[in-house]
Structures are given as structure tokens and as C-alpha cells.
């Protein structure tokens, strides 16, 4: 492992950094949210922290897939595979952060380059998730529409969502192994650049016959963020989301927030099932891995509490 860097923190931005509940997803809405997010990140930079950034892309890649789908149905423009859609979202989300963060920093008299790296993340082609895909993506279809798509893509797997009334494609969500672009990311971070990478969990690629190939899958952004934080030798890995920390009995009246917890204790709670797979589960798993790989502290906090969280006054702190 790399020598740990005291002032280097890796920030994982959750869905609310880009899009708020109830918003439509216009570019203007997203850019406005990113501007607010960048004010918070700029505070950290002003306080002397070095940071590397990663972010989610769930709603964004969902919209990109729909655009490809509609473009094909209306204009016959050939749709792109999922790995390419993931790359598209890394590009446009990175652009928004680059623009908003450099503007915010310049306003504060700080001249820093912010650079996005289109990042591939290697996954194991034998990952169990490939034989049992579970992550729903894209539009809801009627059974008839689904059968039509199956004629073009017999390899697609659909699952019925009875509650929301329709069939949806499901793709695997394999465990991230390592970031292909890591040496470049490290060199840029060391040189003082603010780097945005492994967006949306990265573009999933597998190694086959000494070649890399993109696959139809998605990677959890918190688990990929941990690989980034650990490989950079960051002292802190901070997962920012829309809840003020980790709770036990989250959906019961007995709910209780955890302020500080040792990794061993958190592992027990994880095994007891306090953290669901689609939301808090991967964050907790990523935090545990970060500490077990030598990190000093993982923090799970509300985006707006970042400065208080890094001072130990907000969020949940996971320590050794
Ligand atoms: P993000 O987009 O930031 O990754 P998610 O929606 O995936 O956010 O995960 C955050 C959500 O996890 C919170 O809004 C909260 O409702 C939910 N959650 C589920 N279980 C817990 C728990 N035990 N403690 C805290 N939050 C939890
Ligand atoms: Mg979310």
C-alpha cells in the first residue's frame, strides 16, 4: 500500500449532489446543484485539504440509456452499450464539476486545475453477479415491448416490477477490483490537481485473452470509491449522502444514530442486516474495507455537513 497522505481526502458524492428529490433532471437544475456542492468542496480546499472526487450516476445513466433508446425508436440512431453510456455520463458530470469548482475557487482567489479522468474499473469475469444480475436500469416496458427488445438482444435479462407495473432490464453489479487509470490519477493528484475519477463507479471492464473489454454492468460508486481512496493512500474516505450518518434500526422508532464506531463493531451490525443492499449497505461495506486496507478514518455524512464532519462534529466516523 501507498504511504498515507495526511491531508488527502477522497470524497464520494451521492445522488443529492447532482439531483434533488422531485427534480426533473434538466441540465440547469443539475448544474445549479453542482454549484452548491462545489461551494462545500471549496471550503475544504480553502482549509488546506487536498482532495480527489468521485460521484454517482444512477439517474444520469438511466436518462442516457433512455435517450439512446428513444433516438433509436424515433430516428434509427444506433444505441450504444452500457459501458459507453457510463463513459458519456462520466464526461458530462465531470464537465459540470470542473466548470463549477474552478469558478468557485477563482472567486475565492484560488487557481487550481480540476481534471476528469474517464476511468475503467476491472471486475472479475467470474464474479457471481454475472450469473445473477440484480440491478435494474433504464425504462419500464410492457411484456410485448420486452419481447420485441428480446428479439434484437436475446442476451438481455428482464425482471418484472409488479409494484411499479412493468418489466425492467437488470444488469450485474460486480465487485470492483482496481482502477485501470490509477497511475495517471495518482500522478495528477501528487502534482496538485483536483481529480474527478471513477464516476458512477467506473466503466466496468473485464480482462480476457490479455485484452480489456467493456461489459454490460454497473459498479457501485462507494465500493469503487474505496479502491480509489485506498490506492491513493488517502487518510480519509468521506461518503457524502442525504442522511446525517449511519443508523441502527433505521426504519424503527428505536432508530439511533452512530457518531463513532470501531470497524469490528460495525462489521457485526452489517452482518445483522441493518444496512440494505441498495443504499446504506455498500457505503458501510466500503467504509469497512477502507479501514481494513489501512485508511485512518471513513466518514459517512450529509453533504451539507462536510466541514463539520471533517472536524468530528457531524456524520458517522468509522475508525480502527
Ligand atoms: P446516495 O445516492 O448518496 O448513494 P442512497 O440513497 O444510495 O444515497 O443511500 C442513502 C440512503 O440510505 C438514505 O437516504 C437512507 O434513507 C438510506 N438508509 C437505509 N438504511 C440506513 C441506515 N441504517 N442508516 C442510515 N441511512 C439508511
Ligand atoms: Mg441514491
Mean pLDDT (the chain, rounded): 95
CATH number (domain holding residue 206): 3.40.1160.10
For residue 174, being part of any structural domain is answered with: no
Q: What is the pLDDT of residue 86?
A: 97
Q: Is 15 in the pocket of ligand 1 (CB under 6 A)?
A: yes
| Domain assignment present for 281 | yes
* pLDDT number for residue 116: 98
* 63 within domain boundaries: no
pLDDT computed for residue 3 by the predictor: 58
- pLDDT tens digit string along 1-49? 455 777 999 999 999 999 999 999 999 999 999 999 999 999 999 999 9
Distance CA 138, CA 192 (A): 38
16 is annotated as an active-site residue: yes
pLDDT in tens, 250-278: 999 999 999 999 999 999 999 999 999 98
At 46 the pLDDT is 96
pLDDT tens digits, 278-312: 899 999 999 999 999 999 999 999 999 999 999 99
Cα 267 to ligand 2 centroid, rounded to whole Å: 22
CA 159, CA 170: separation in Å to the nearest integer?
7
Residue whose entry in the numeric block shows the C-alpha cell 475557487: 105
Burial class (CB in 10 A: 0-12, 13-18, 19+), 12: buried
Question: What's the pLDDT at 152?
Answer: 85
Active-site residue identified among 283, 285, 295, 315: 283
pTM as predicted: 0.96
**Strand extents, DSSP E, 112-188:** 114-116, 120-123, 135-141, 157-161, 166-171, 176-179
Q: Is the pLDDT at 85 greater than 60, yes or no? A: yes
For residue 1, what pLDDT is reported? Answer: 47
Q: Using CB atoms within 10 A of its CB, is residue 36 exposed (0-12), middle (13-18) or buried (19+)?
A: middle
Give catalytic status of residue 15 as yes or no: yes
Whether 283 is catalytic is yes
Q: How far is the CA of 195 from the centre of ligand 2 (A)?
A: 22
Average pLDDT over residues 92-102: 98
Specify whether 177 is catalytic: no
Predicted local confidence at residue 134, as pLDDT: 86
Residue range of the domain that includes 110: 5-56+87-121+180-319
Number of separate domains in the chain: 1
Q: How does pLDDT run across 175-228, given as a tens digit for each residue? A: 999 999 999 999 999 999 999 999 999 999 999 999 999 999 999 999 999 999
Whether 280 is covered by a domain: the verdict is: yes
The preferred substitution site among 242, 268, 309 for testing ligand 1, maximizing ligand atoms within 8 Å of CB, is 242
Query: Which single residue is written with the C-alpha cell 454490460?
Result: 216
Q: Is the CB of 36 under 6 A from ligand 1?
A: no
Place of cell 487550481: 112
Cell output for 74: 424515433
Following DSSP, what letter does each residue of 30-46 receive, concatenated?
A: HHHHHHHHHHHHHHHHH
Ligand 1 pocket member 242 (CB < 6 A): yes
Residue nearest to atom 7 of ligand 1 (CA): 279
pLDDT at 249: 94
Task: Identify whether 210 is part of a domain.
Answer: yes
- CA dist 203 and 134 (Å) reads 18
Q: Confirm whether 69 is domain-assigned.
A: no
What mean pLDDT do residues 138-153 have?
90
Ligand 1 centroid–CA 274 distance in Å is 11
pLDDT tens for each residue of 105-129: 999 999 999 999 999 999 999 999 9
Residue located nearest, by CA, to atom 5 of ligand 1: 279
Ligand nearest the Cα of residue 243 is 1
In a domain, 64, yes or no: no
Q: Is residue 67 part of a domain?
A: no
Amino acid at each position: 500500500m501507498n504511504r498515507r497522505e495526511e491531508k488527502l481526502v477522497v470524497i464520494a458524492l451521492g445522488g443529492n449532489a447532482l439531483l434533488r428529490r422531485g427534480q426533473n433532471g434538466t441540465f440547469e437544475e443539475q448544474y445549479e446543484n453542482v454549484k452548491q456542492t462545489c461551494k462545500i468542496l471549496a471550503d475544504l480546499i480553502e482549509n488546506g485539504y487536498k482532495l480527489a472526487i468521485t460521484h454517482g450516476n444512477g439517474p444520469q445513466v438511466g436518462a442516457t440509456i433512455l435517450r439512446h433508446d428513444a433516438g433509436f425508436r424515433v430516428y434509427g440512431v444506433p444505441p450504444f452499450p452500457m459501458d459507453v453510456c457510463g463513459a458519456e455520463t462520466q464526461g458530462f458530470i465531470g464537465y459540470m464539476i470542473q466548470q463549477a469548482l474552478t469558478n468557485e475557487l477563482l472567486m475565492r482567489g484560488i487557481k487550481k486545475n480540476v481534471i476528469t479522468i474517464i476511468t475503467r474499473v476491472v471486475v472479475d469475469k467470474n464474479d457471481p453477479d454475472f450469473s445473477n444480475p440484480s440491478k435494474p436500469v433504464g425504462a419500464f416496458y410492457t411484456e410485448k415491448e420486452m419481447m420485441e427488445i428480446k428479439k434484437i438482444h436475446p442476451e438481455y435479462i428482464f425482471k418484472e416490477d409488479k409494484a411499479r407495473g412493468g418489466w425492467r432490464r437488470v444488469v450485474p453489479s460486480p465487485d470492483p477490483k482496481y482502477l485501470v487509470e490509477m497511475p495517471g490519477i495518482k500522478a495528477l493528484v501528487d502534482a496538485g490537481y483536483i481529480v474527478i475519477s471513477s464516476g458512477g463507479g467506473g466503466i466496468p471492464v473485464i480482462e480476457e485473452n490479455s485484452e480489456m473489454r467493456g461489459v454490460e454492468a454497473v459498479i457501485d460508486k462507494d465500493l469503487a470509491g474505496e479502491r480509489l481512496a485506498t490506492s491513493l493512500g488517502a487518510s480519509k474516505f468521506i461518503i457524502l449522502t442525504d442522511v446525517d450518518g449511519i443508523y441502527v434500526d433505521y426504519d424503527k422508532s428505536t432508530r439511533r444514530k452512530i457518531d463513532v464506531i470501531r470497524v469490528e463493531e460495525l462489521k457485526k451490525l452489517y452482518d445483522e442486516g441493518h444496512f440494505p443492499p441498495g443504499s446504506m449497505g455498500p457505503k458501510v461495506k466500503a467504509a469497512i474495507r477502507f479501514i481494513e486496507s489501512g485508511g485512518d478514518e471513513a466518514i459517512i455524512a450529509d453533504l451539507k455537513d462536510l466541514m463539520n464532519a471533517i472536524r468530528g462534529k457531524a456524520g458517522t466516523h468509522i475508525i480502527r
